[in-house]
Structure 1
Amino acid sequence: MTNPTDTGARTGPAPAPVGKGLRGGSVGLLASVTLGLSSVAPAYSIAVTLGFVTLTVGDLAPAALLLGFLPVLLTAFAFRELNREMPDCGTTFVWTTRAFGPRTGWLTGGWVPLCATLIAMTALSQVGAGYLLHFLGLHALAGSSAAVTVTAILLLAAVTAIAYRGLQLAASVQYVLLGLQLLALLGFGVTAFARTGATAPSLSWLSPLAFADFGSLTEAVLLCLFIYWGWDALITANEETRDGERVSGQAAVISTVVLLGTYLFTAFAAISFAGTGADGIGLGNPDNAADVLSTLATPVLGTALAKVMQLAVCVSAVSALLTCVVGSSRSALSMSAHGALPPALARIHPRHRTPSFGTLLAGTAAACLLVLFTLVSGDFLGDAILCIGLLIACYYGTTALACVWYFRKRLQDSPRDFLLRGVLPLLGGVLMLAAFARSAYDMYDPAYGSTSFHGVGGVFLLGAGSIAAGALALLIARTRFRRFFREGRTSVAALTVTED
């Protein structure tokens, strides 16, 4: 069946509202994959991560990307299987509630992902603003914290307005934004390989057995986890996706595989052209680590086309920002519709069929948090971004284990169920929680990140503090939403319709 969003055409009446009042059948497989890829911000993610990975493991950066992908893929299988069983826009909130109960569902399935997304939105808006000002040649403004913050707030307002208008418009905009990113990365890679002096890539760069020590391997893999995060945002649109219980899960797996191919291609091209030396444009030069693509764009593409790469990274951040607004508002909608958050978050716009209040709240909350972080310290904002990895590992790992526990009585029904609902999600959950424990251990060091407090790393305090704040909020929520915490495990299974 043709997807109206994928083709740009529409026949017959508009899709009817279903479930919680969202517009059912708005998007198909291609649009879902696009939303998933856009939410990861591939151009931005590889630009700001590849250099640090190379500093840690040299030309084994592709191997680290491959190993970091493994727990993400295993977790994606868990998301796919759970979505087939329970296609709800609340995703991790609903799934972990059904598996482990309302307290775990509210905290690790609802609060933690929303915190991670909100913090990511502050970072993405700031990065997008900085790149946009540089692209426009406003370098003096790009160096002004106030100007960057104002521009970031304007970007947040723009993407919030798009998300408010509906998923079809958001998906259509994402086609353009994602297409520019992928074309820019493809052009960069092909040109880098063709440049005189570029070395031939080696399969040894993919060897998982070539790492010098376990510590460097772990650090590099943890860095790589961040660049795959975000694809699960596409599943929050499952109630608006045609055949969402099947298509959304497929899109999740496809998105992660496409990301792996994109990252490996870009990493091989960058290392082949620049090498891993500590001088000049080498990827082992600490001065290049914060933004590899900006460093290499001019020598690879020339001055004129380097501006296109700069625009691609800007677009990448804005594209991910848009998907964050879409995903967080729908997660909050589900929690509200199931009685776990205030009813206002379940309000649906009568014409656009979007969570109107939740969408506006997501954009406003991100803008307020950005201003707060900026006023406290630029270093504080940087550490807030680093703590996202701890939150990612927490809720990905819990969701993977929820898959195993929920299906535990059906694992012997078939070899497929045993593998895809049992073995692979269990392995993914264990790896994610191991990454969580290792991240917490590393982040506790006051030297980790840019801030510390009484000998404890600021990144750890922000990450663990977010979870601790969630535990406190949980205590308050239990007094306000008694019915959910009493009957949540069964009530989330029921279809909830929200009136206009």
Structure 2
Amino acid sequence: MSQDAPARQDPPREEHHELRADGITAAGSIVMAVAGSAPAYSITATTAVLIAAAGLASPAALLWCGLPMLGIAWAFAYLGRADVNAGAAYSWVGRALHPILGFLAGWALVVSATIFMVAGALPAGAATVSLFDEKAASNTLLVTVVGAVWFLIMALAVLLGVRVTARAQWIMSTVEVALLVVFGVLAIVRAAGSDHAGPSFDWSWLGFSHFSGVGGFVAAALIAAFYYWGWDVSSNLNEETKDGRKAAGRGGIIGVIIVFLLFEVFTIAVQVLLPAKVIAKSDGNILSLLGDVLWPGIGGKILVIAVALSTIATLETTLIQVTRSLFAMGRDHTIPLVFGRAHKKWRTPAFATLVVTGVSIILFIGSNFLGSVGDILSNAVSSIGIQIAFYYALAAIAVIVAYRRLVFQSVRNFIFIALWPGLGAAFMVFVFVAAIPNSTLPVILIGFGALAIGVIPLIIFWRKGRAYYGRRPLELPEELVTSQIDISSNDPKVQ
């Protein structure tokens, strides 16, 4: 070649965007999982809704939804061992089952999280306003504005980086859980006595005898699923967690156990210590009422602080889930590629965060025309329950398919990879299907309609996302194939 000829230039390579690694510790992963389920928020916003649907069967609904939910947490843990991906179920289901199912699983999380951020901001605003003026907490416009302000603050924290987010979660969630434990002990002591306004606790409350048929069980199960939902934020953070291949899944399992215990204690305490009429009229303020009974004069205010911290914390974790899912989708070009770009300095999905924040603010404003806080929460909870059941079921099925060669290698593998996640999948499929004839029209339109909208980006980006839709099968690492899988240890135990 002549020396005067221009040197050949390599074609420009597409810029690779990565999230900040090692921003969250193993303990921080547990904190994130607990914050994602938001125990104080879930209890105060959902207990009255659950009791209205299930009555004395409310503790049973939490138990019989909690057991399969723990099986799904095991599924997430094992899937995370095979594929560390911010999209979590979006990636796992797509590679283990089918890319279309994977995309719809990710879409289900995105729409459920977006709906929740509207519903979640309302209790944050209500809790804050009630600290200063309890009567003003019924003003939907004021509550929405204050909730939106909190949401914007949390959005800024998420935008600035996972380390800022993790520090904020440690503070908020530690205080929240500490307060709940103290009042939980007070509630157990008070409920054990004879001085209470409701019926005495009976172990039959944990059985099936108090459900009003299949329809009653399904309605209660959808609500109970909403209680637990959010623990899987630890999996969406696996790319940003130290030893995320194991720590993220382990954090989800421990988080589910912690929130299950808190949910049961406070649901039983509410039914035993508060009159039925008070529960029915609580309008998302149940913990404050319970606090006044347990510690007259100051207890209600203390638990309102716990609710505010919990709600603000879960707004942050929900925003993390939806932005990480969108980041993974954008990276695969199953939605606009710009969603898959990370900020060069903060290493966060900045564009996704800004878009979701803007959409949520618009929905906050629109929610003022939908009715009272209680009406909005009731429809949102059941709708989100449908979407949760959809993508949790797919993830639980995915782990069985992905690990099918290892299922019968040991009793442990059979129980934690096949049996328990399989029961979780069956439970979620049942709830999803049975919800169709047993839900109100608004719940069906929001729950199933939002899922159906996901077909639009699927069709539009089918060609551009060919790397994803070309189906890369989920392959287990060689060390997992040749050794006994043990997610509680850093070293595999050779069989």
- TM-score between both structures, scaled by the size of structure 1: 0.84
Q: How does 1:348-497 map to 2 (within 5 A)?
A: 348-375=342-369, 377-378=371-372, 379=375, 383-443=379-439, 448=440, 457-485=441-469, 487-489=470-472
Amino acid at match of 2:345: R
CA contact (8 A) 2:24 2:241 kept: yes
**1:144-155 equivalence runs, <5 A:** 144-155=139-150
2:115 corresponds, among 116, 119, 130, to 119
C-alpha contact 2:72 2:421 (8 A) present in aligned 1 = yes
Correspondence for 1:62: 59
8 Å contact 1:22–1:354 — kept in the other structure?
A: yes
Larger radius of gyration: 2
Aligned to 1:304: 298
C-alpha change, 1:88 and 1:465, in structure 2 (3 Å) is same
1:71 maps to which of 47, 59, 68: 68
The superposition leaves residues 63-114 of structure 1 with CA deviations (integer Å, 9 ceiling, x where unpaired) of 222112012111111111101111111100100110122211112x211110
- Given that 1:484 and 1:491 are in contact with CA atoms closer than 8 Å, whether structure 2 keeps it comes out as no
User: Partners in 2 of 1:132 and 1:211 — Cα distance?
Assistant: 36
1:488, CA displacement in angstroms? Answer: 3.9
Compared CA separation, residues 278 and 372, structure 1 to 2 (3 A): closer
User: CA separation of 1:130/1:489 partners in 2, compared to 1, >3 Å: closer, same or farther?
Assistant: same
Aligned residue for 2:261?
Answer: 261
Is there any run of 5+ residues in structure 2 with no aligned partner, and where? 1-15, 478-495
- Alpha-carbon distance between aligned partners in 1 of 2:376 and 2:394, rounded to the nearest angstrom: 28
Q: Does the aligned pair in 2 maintain the 1:211–1:217 contact within 8 Å? A: no
What is the aligned partner in structure 2 of residue 9 from structure 1? none
Q: Is the 8 A contact 1:201 1:268 kept in 2?
A: no
Distance 1:85 1:121, change over 3 A: same
The alpha-carbon distance between structure 1 residues 212 and 423, as it changes in their structure 2 partners (threshold 3 A), is closer
Cα distance in 1 for partners of 2:364, 2:381 equals 11
- How far does residue 203 in structure 1 lie from its aligned partner after superposition? 5.8
Distance 2:283 2:126 in 1: 17
- The whole-number CA distance in structure 1 between the counterparts of 2:380 and 2:43 is 19
Deviation digits for residues 230-253 of structure 1, max 9, x if unmatched? 100111111111111111111111
- Looking at structure 1, the residues matched to 207 and 420 of structure 2 have their Cα atoms a distance apart, in angstroms, of 20
Q: Shift in Å at residue 348 of structure 1?
A: 1.7
Note the 1:82-161 alignment, pairs <5 A. Answer: 82-107=79-104, 109-137=105-133, 139-140=135-136, 142-161=137-156
CA distance in structure 2 between the partners assigned to 1:145 and 1:114 by the alignment: 25
- Whole-Å Cα distance in 2 between the matches of residues 112 and 74 of structure 1? 20
Q: Which residue of 1 aligns with 2:249?
A: 249
Q: Distance in 2 between matches of 1:70 and 1:288?
A: 28
- Structure 2: distance between partners of 1:167 and 1:245: 17
Greater mean alpha carbon deviation, residues 424-433 or residues 186-195: 186-195
Matched, 1:316 2:310: yes
Q: How far did 1:187 drift? A: 2.7
Q: Structure 1 residues 130 and 393 mapped into 2: Cα distance closer, same or farther (>3 Å)?
A: same
What's the counterpart of residue 208 of structure 1?
207
Contact residue 223 and residue 382 of structure 2 kept, 8 A: no
Q: What's the offset of the Cα at 1:364?
A: 1.7
Report deviation, 1:361. 1.9
SS in 2 for 1:231: coil
Query: How many matched pairs?
Result: 455
Q: Distance in 2 between matches of 1:212 and 1:130?
A: 31
Offset, 1:289: 6.7
Q: Does 1:176 align with 2:171?
A: yes
State which of 42, 47, 58 in structure 2 corresponds to 1:45: 42
Separation in structure 2 between the aligned mates of residue 150 and residue 473 of structure 1, nearest angstrom: 31
Q: 1:148 to 1:251 in 2, by over 3 A?
A: same
Structure 2 counterpart of 1:40, which letter? S
Cα contact 1:396–1:429 (8 A) shared by 2: yes
CA distance in 2: counterparts of 1:126 and 1:265, whole angstroms? 25
Alpha-carbon distance in 1 for matches of 2:324, 2:360: 16
TM-score (norm 2): 0.85
Give the 3-state SS of the residue equivalent to 2:281 in structure 1: helix
The answer to whether the Cα contact below 8 Å between 1:193 and 1:273 also exists between their aligned partners in 2 is no
Alpha-carbon distance between aligned partners in 1 of 2:221 and 2:54, rounded to the nearest angstrom = 10
Asked if the contact 1:197/1:273 (under 8 Å) is kept, the reply is: no
**What's the C-alpha RMSD, in Å, of the aligned pairs?**
2.6
In structure 2, the residue corresponding to 1:421 is in which secondary structure? helix
Deviations 1:367-392 (A, max 9, x none): 12222333455556752443111100
For residues 57 and 490 of structure 1, what CA distance do their matches in structure 2 show?
42
Change over 3 Å in CA distance of 1:268–1:139 after alignment to 2: closer
Report the alpha carbon displacement of residue 327 of structure 1 after superposing the two structures with TM. 1.7
Percent identity reads 26
**Cα displacement (A) at 1:223:** 2.2
**Equivalent-residue separation in structure 2 for 1:209 and 1:344 (angstroms):** 49
Separation in structure 2 between the aligned mates of residue 144 and residue 483 of structure 1, nearest angstrom: 49
Contact 1:90–1:330 (8 Å) recurs in 2: yes
Q: 1:202-260 deviations in whole A, cap 9, x for unaligned? A: 56145425335533344333321210111001111111111111111111110000111
